């Protein structure tokens, strides 16, 4: 027989206890492994998510050169040569070489396109590798030879181009004297997906608006498949660009540091070849680094308390088991075993189980992280088996071994007779010192938490406070039990007597109370934090997205967007939104135009009730007459009189959508009644009549006079509802000096003008407010922050009068600083002076409610409004739930659940380890005549006190810890602490934690009661166990 036989038979003999030791040691190892494994996986998840969410510019590297053949020869080399140069450089940078995809080469240059018999158009003549694979050819084929090009469908439709037609192109800036190249249109394209990574940083599909400072209209790019076509003019500025998309999913955490350094080195090397490296990847990685850094700090702080709890539980377990094995150890001592072999005999079983638990714990930890990665982390995130995992396992193993040695030391050192008599030893001073240390640490962590809640010691405060609460609860329960014991003894109540005696005399009571209190407090803290964070994430997502879905789109101008949206979605659950950010006082004020009548249906406006939103929407859109729509031709019937020597010209100011307002000349006024008319060819699709204009018919500065009675305005065969009899329906346009000008309502609009004003005297139709009603968030962007009326640059970038119709803490999607107003009115105001298509700072969005069509993005694209980016509330929430704070809290929740499982294990173990003695006691009591029912009641009372008190104290302390810590902990993003707690109770993690903990403890008590049913008198006979 070997020592192994004794050891293995002992393990089998105590299989229940051995299993618990194995499980606890496994949990301890798992907890230790979790820190590096989960932390790593969470960091990788954040990195992958961050790279996936980053714009193309942030996840690609662009190498290029730009200039003329003499100024930048590299730009006029072939893309193949450039690729060879970069590939040679990348060979020296293995991480970059591995992580960068094959380059997409491209060459493009500004060009002036002149379709036959048409005005010139600005475009980019572009070559891009394999471009036809990324375009849908609606007509024709992909070019194969030089001199063949593809034009966009938009261009073809607008300019009547078709396959086979010739184009004259001058490669160079508009106005430059460049040689003419002739191209044949061989195909007409629409881009498959303009947001595709393939297109990189190019801006090939930006039709509309002038090209630069010229008046030449810009159209979509014209593609060739022969790059020499682009480089034909050596004097032209040619941009050669190689876009290297990053294999975002292949980027590992270890690559981050190397990436930055290799990019820096590559930049220098390429500079020697006159190639520029353009990348925002390092900025993207730095931004992501804030999140990964937060995880690296948070995970150990969460894992350490769990690991320490495991360690403590293991310590208690080994102490109990060794004490239970006291008689066996005494036997070894009695037989004269040397000290070393006694220790081996006494600890061998536990140490073997701990050793066995190490690989199981490693596998369990890795499996748990892999499971978490599959369920919660970014797609493609997997657990990484790294040396740190094994190092943590070795540390856990060593710590478990130390716990076992410390726990068994007392028993192993006891003399034979002491072990045989099993007289409990008095609590020694070391326990008091240990408790004192914990209390001191808790005090320090509390102080740290109050100073800076993000400090590591501060983050340990909830766990340490829980330990202190456990210690206090244990002591209180001991005191309470002694008092109850005295009372029960006086009154002769058997169940109370038994339960109080058991609680008062069992040394394990104190430990059980500490462990259960700590575990429940950890879970309560984690569950509360999770619920609060979940709510904060929902609110953050509501505030950030602003609607159920938001599409960022490319649109020519606000009216084009609104029109396309109406065609794409007739449900009325989506609205066009136009935004612009205006710098103001070292900050930005966001201006948002919304379709206010749809605000209630679409926008998520946290903090405002539906009634509030309705009220604000109504305030943004006061009743105003509809605009006067004109088409192709306008006729004005008017009577003129009082004309002087200076001829006076009558005009109609009209605005075509997206175009600046234009005055159509109706003719020079002549006395008497007559109809003045003008053709409006640009208004085939409909224009808005801004007003009527009177101006001097000849040059000079002489004063002119006119009295005009406008009787009717007709367009498109119908008379416009000019409301001439309504006061203020017509008014003098802003900027026109009012002196000598009168406007009188009546059957006919009576205008009297005596002025020397150099410009036009515009009498505008009052279909737009003079001051734009707005909902203001934050202070007014004016000298007086409380001003109710102020001027501020509007959509036109010109001062616009605003009046505060309402105030709000925050605006949907905008935040706490911005102006929200009605889009239609804002456009009407802007159109009086400017074309909004010319304003480059406008950003176009479509906000959609849950009832809007699910494929709204596609429908918008079909209507010529390509979607650049789409966001959704659920997607944003999903993304937030994978940010560092959520990942940390998830681990906290996991740790809390594991802690409660450990506590249940400790309760069971404490019951089972002393089971033989307890069963003997109960059996003896039954022999003396105590009824089984009374014994059962006694046990139930005992466990109600043993578990009830820590349960209550644990939840209170956990909740208090949450109250203390959560306002200072970033709950949604790492850069923003929660600030204040706005938790609304609901069905979340906390009620679930309460229910699961209660169920677990009740089941534990039932298991104990079931075990104690074996307390029959037979047990008192020797040899029965």
Q: Which of residues 105-144 bind another protein (CB under 8 A)?
A: none
Query: Is the torsion defined by CA of 844, 850, 852, 856 positive or negative?
Result: positive
Sole window of 66-74, 122-130, 338-346, 432-440 interacting with another protein (rule: CB under 8 A): 338-346
Cβ 335 to another protein, closest distance in Å?
4
Among 19, 88, 180, 334, binds another protein (CB under 8 A): 334
- Helix or strand run (H / E) with residue 307: helix 281-324
Q: Of the two residues 24 and 342, which places its CB atom closer to another protein in the complex?
A: 342
Cβ 1020 to another protein, closest distance in Å?
12
Cβ 530 to another protein, closest distance in Å?
46
Q: Of the two residues 19 and 385, which places its CB atom closer to another protein in the complex?
A: 19
Q: Which of residues 411-450 bind another protein (CB under 8 A)?
A: 415-417, 420
Among 117, 213, 335, 984, binds another protein (CB under 8 A): 335
Cβ 877 to another protein, closest distance in Å?
57
Q: Of the two residues 158 and 331, which places its CB atom closer to another protein in the complex?
A: 331
Q: Of the two residues 1 and 739, which places its CB atom closer to another protein in the complex?
A: 1
146 binds another protein (CB under 8 A): no
914 binds another protein (CB under 8 A): no
Residue (of 728, 651, 726, 723) closest to 690 by Cα position:
651
Cβ 329 to another protein, closest distance in Å?
11
12 binds another protein (CB under 8 A): yes
Sole window of 695-703, 948-956, 963-971, 1017-1025 interacting with another protein (rule: CB under 8 A): 1017-1025
Beta strands 121-128 and 217-218: pairing type? parallel
User: Can you tell me whether residue 753 is helix, strand or coil?
Assistant: strand
84 binds another protein (CB under 8 A): no
Distance CA 818, CA 832 (A): 24
Among 212, 338, 432, 841, binds another protein (CB under 8 A): 338
User: Can you tell me whether residue 1008 is helix, strand or coil?
Assistant: helix
Cβ 1023 to another protein, closest distance in Å?
5
Buried b (16+ CB within 10 A) or exposed e, 120-147: bbbbbbbbbbebbebbebebbebbeeee
Q: Strand (E) positions, 554-686?
A: 574-584, 587-594, 628-630, 632-641, 648-655, 662-668, 672-680
CB neighbours (10 Å) of residue 270?
A: 21
Sole window of 7-15, 38-46, 89-97, 864-872 interacting with another protein (rule: CB under 8 A): 7-15
Binding mask 365-404 for another protein (x = CB under 8 A): ----------------------------------------
10 binds another protein (CB under 8 A): yes
Cβ 1013 to another protein, closest distance in Å?
21
16 binds another protein (CB under 8 A): no
Length of the chain: 1025
Q: Which of residues 340-369 bind another protein (CB under 8 A)?
A: 341
Q: Of the two residues 13 and 505, which places its CB atom closer to another protein in the complex?
A: 13
Unique residue bearing structure tokens 């690729």: 83
Among 4, 13, 257, 770, binds another protein (CB under 8 A): 13
Cβ 292 to another protein, closest distance in Å?
52
Sole window of 3-11, 505-513, 610-618, 729-737 interacting with another protein (rule: CB under 8 A): 3-11
Q: Of the two residues 11 and 185, which places its CB atom closer to another protein in the complex?
A: 11
**Tokens at 396, concatenated:** 């856990």
Q: Of the two residues 12 and 869, which places its CB atom closer to another protein in the complex?
A: 12
Q: Of the two residues 335 and 428, which places its CB atom closer to another protein in the complex?
A: 335
Distance CA 485, CA 498 (A): 8
Distance CA 852, CA 199 (A): 30
Q: Of the two residues 682 and 916, which places its CB atom closer to another protein in the complex?
A: 916
Torsion on CA atoms 261, 262, 265, 268, rounded to nearest 10: -120
Cβ 992 to another protein, closest distance in Å?
43
Torsion on CA atoms 735, 737, 738, 740, rounded to nearest 10: -150
Alpha carbon 916 to its chain's center: 57
Upper half-sphere CA count for residue 125 (Cβ side, 13 Å): 37
Q: Of the two residues 417 and 679, which places its CB atom closer to another protein in the complex?
A: 417
CB 292 within 8 A of CB 47: yes
Among 139, 168, 297, 337, binds another protein (CB under 8 A): 337
Cβ 1014 to another protein, closest distance in Å?
16
CB 169 within 8 A of CB 109: no
5 binds another protein (CB under 8 A): yes
**Tokens at 442, concatenated:** 């808790």
CB 654 within 8 A of CB 680: yes
327 binds another protein (CB under 8 A): yes
Buried b (16+ CB within 10 A) or exposed e, 980-1011: eeebeeeebbbeebbebbeebbeebbeebeeb
Q: Of the two residues 164 and 327, which places its CB atom closer to another protein in the complex?
A: 327
What does residue 668 show for φ and ψ, rounded to 5 degrees? -85, 140
CB neighbours (10 Å) of residue 715?
A: 24
Q: Which residues pair with 942 in a beta bridge?
A: none
Q: Of the two residues 3 and 406, which places its CB atom closer to another protein in the complex?
A: 3
User: Can you tell me whether residue 50 is helix, strand or coil?
Assistant: helix
Distance CA 725, CA 750 (A): 10
Among 158, 273, 290, 331, binds another protein (CB under 8 A): 331
Among 623, 728, 1018, 1022, binds another protein (CB under 8 A): 1022
User: How many residues contact another protein, by CB under 8 A?
Assistant: 27
* Runs of H (alpha helix) within 325-338: 326-334
Q: Of the two residues 338 and 660, which places its CB atom closer to another protein in the complex?
A: 338
Cβ 20 to another protein, closest distance in Å?
18
Residues making contact with another protein (CB under 8 A): 1, 3, 5-6, 9-10, 12-13, 327-328, 331-339, 341, 415-417, 420, 1022-1023, 1025
């Amino acid at each position: 027989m070997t020592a192994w036989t004794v050891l293995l038979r002992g393990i089998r003999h105590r299989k229940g206890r051995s299993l618990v030791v194995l499980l606890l040691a496994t949990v301890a190892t798992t907890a230790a492994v979790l820190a590096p494994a989960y932390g790593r996986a969470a960091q990788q998840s954040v990195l992958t998510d961050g790279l996936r969410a980053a714009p193309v510019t942030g996840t690609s590297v662009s190498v290029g050169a730009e200039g003329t053949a003499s100024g930048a020869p590299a730009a006029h080399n072939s893309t193949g040569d450039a690729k060879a140069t970069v590939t040679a450089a990348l060979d020296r940078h293995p991480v970059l070489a591995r992580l960068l995809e094959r380059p997409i080469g491209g060459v493009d240059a500004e060009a002036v396109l002149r379709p036959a018999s048409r005005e010139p158009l600005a475009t980019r003549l572009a070559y891009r590798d394999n471009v036809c694979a990324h375009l849908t050819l609606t007509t024709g084929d992909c070019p194969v030879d030089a001199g063949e090009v593809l034009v966009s469908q938009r261009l073809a439709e607008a300019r009547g181009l078709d396959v086979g037609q010739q184009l004259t192109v001058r490669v160079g800036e508009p106005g430059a004297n460049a040689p003419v190249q002739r191209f044949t249109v061989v195909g007409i394209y629409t881009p498959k997906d303009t947001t595709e990574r393939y297109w990189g940083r190019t801006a090939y599909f930006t039709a509309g608006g002038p090209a630069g400072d010229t008046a030449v209209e810009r159209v979509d790019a014209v593609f060739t498949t022969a790059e020499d076509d682009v480089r034909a003019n050596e004097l032209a500025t040619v941009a050669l660009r190689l876009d290297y998309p990053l294999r975002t999913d292949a980027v590992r955490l270890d690559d981050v540091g190397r990436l930055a350094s290799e990019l820096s080195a590559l930049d220098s090397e390429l500079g020697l070849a006159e190639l520029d490296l353009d990348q925002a990847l390092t900025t993207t990685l730095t931004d992501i680094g804030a999140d990964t850094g937060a995880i690296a700090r948070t995970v150990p702080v969460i894992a350490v308390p769990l690991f320490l709890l495991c360690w403590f539980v293991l310590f208690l377990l080994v102490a109990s088991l060794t004490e239970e094995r006291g008689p066996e150890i005494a036997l070894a001592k009695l037989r004269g075993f040397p000290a070393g072999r006694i220790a081996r005999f006494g600890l061998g079983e536990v140490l073997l189980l701990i050793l066995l638990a190490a690989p199981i714990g490693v596998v369990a930890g890795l499996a748990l992280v892999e499971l978490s990665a599959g369920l919660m982390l970014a797609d493609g995130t997997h657990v990484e088996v790294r040396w740190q995992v094994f190092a943590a396992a070795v540390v856990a193993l060593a710590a478990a071994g130390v716990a076992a040695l410390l726990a068994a030391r007392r028993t192993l050192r006891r003399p034979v007779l002491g072990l045989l008599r099993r007289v409990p030893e008095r609590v020694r001073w070391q326990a008091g010192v240990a408790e004192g240390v914990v209390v001191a640490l808790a005090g320090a962590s509390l102080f740290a938490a109050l100073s800076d809640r993000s400090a590591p010691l501060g983050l340990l405060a909830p766990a340490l406070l829980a330990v202190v609460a456990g210690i206090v609860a244990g002591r209180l329960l001991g005191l309470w039990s002694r008092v109850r014991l005295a009372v029960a003894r006086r009154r002769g109540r058997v169940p109370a007597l038994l339960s109080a005696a058991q609680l008062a005399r069992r040394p394990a009571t104190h430990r059980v109370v500490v462990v259960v209190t700590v575990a429940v407090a950890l879970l309560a803290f984690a569950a509360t934090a999770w619920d609060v964070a979940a709510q904060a994430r929902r609110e953050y997502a509501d505030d950030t997205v602003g609607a159920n879905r938001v599409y960022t789109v490319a649109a020519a101008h606000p009216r084009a967007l609104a029109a396309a949206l109406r065609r794409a979605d007739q449900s009325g659950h989506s609205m066009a939104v136009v935004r612009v950010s205006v710098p103001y006082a070292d900050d930005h004020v966001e201006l948002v135009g919304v379709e206010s009548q749809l605000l209630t249906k679409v926008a998520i406006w946290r903090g405002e009730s539906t009634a509030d939103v309705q009220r604000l929407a109504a305030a943004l859109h006061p009743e105003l007459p509809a605009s006067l729509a004109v088409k192709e031709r306008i006729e004005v019937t008017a009577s003129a009189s009082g004309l002087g020597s200076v001829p006076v010209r009558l005009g109609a100011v009209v605005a075509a959508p997206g175009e600046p307002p234009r005055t159509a000349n109706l003719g020079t006024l002549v006395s008497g009644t007559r109809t003045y008319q003008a053709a409006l060819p640009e208004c085939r699709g409909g224009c808005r009549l801004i007003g009527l204009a009177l101006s001097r018919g000849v040059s000079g500065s002489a004063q002119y006079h006119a009295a005009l009675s406008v009787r009717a305005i007709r367009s498109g065969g119908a008379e416009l509802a000019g409301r001439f009899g309504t006061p203020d329906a017509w008014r003098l346009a802003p900027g026109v000096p009012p002196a000598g000008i009168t406007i009188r309502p009546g059957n006919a609009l009576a205008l009297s003008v005596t002025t020397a004003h150099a410009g036009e005297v515009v009498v505008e139709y009052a279909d737009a407010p003079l001051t734009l009603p707005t909902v203001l968030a934050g202070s007014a962007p004016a000298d007086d922050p409380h001003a109710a009326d102020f001027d501020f640059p509007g959509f036109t970038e010109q001062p616009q009068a605003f009046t505060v119709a309402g105030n709000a803490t925050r605006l949907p999607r905008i935040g706490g600083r911005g102006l929200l107003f009605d889009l239609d009115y804002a456009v009407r105001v802007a159109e009086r002076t400017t074309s909004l298509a010319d304003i480059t700072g406008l950003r176009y969005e479509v906000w959609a409610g849950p009832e809007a069509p699910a494929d709204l993005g596609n429908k918008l694209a079909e209507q010529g409004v390509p979607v650049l980016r789409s966001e959704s509330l659920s997607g944003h929430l999903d993304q937030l739930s994978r940010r560092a704070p959520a990942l940390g809290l998830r681990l906290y929740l996991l740790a809390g659940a594991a802690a409660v499982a450990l506590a249940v294990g400790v309760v069971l173990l404490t019951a089972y380890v002393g089971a033989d003695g307890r069963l003997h006691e109960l059996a003896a009591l039954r022999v003396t005549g105590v009824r089984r029912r009374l014994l059962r009641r006694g046990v139930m009372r005992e466990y109600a006190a043993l578990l009830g008190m820590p349960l209550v104290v644990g939840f209170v302390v956990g909740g208090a810890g949450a109250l203390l810590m959560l306002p200072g902990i970033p709950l949604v993003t790492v850069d923003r602490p929660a600030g204040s707690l706005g938790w609304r109770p609901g069905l979340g993690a906390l009620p679930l934690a309460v229910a699961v903990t209660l169920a677990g403890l009740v089941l534990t008590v039932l298991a104990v009661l079931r075990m104690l049913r074996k307390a029959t008198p037979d047990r008192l006979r020797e040899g029965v166990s």
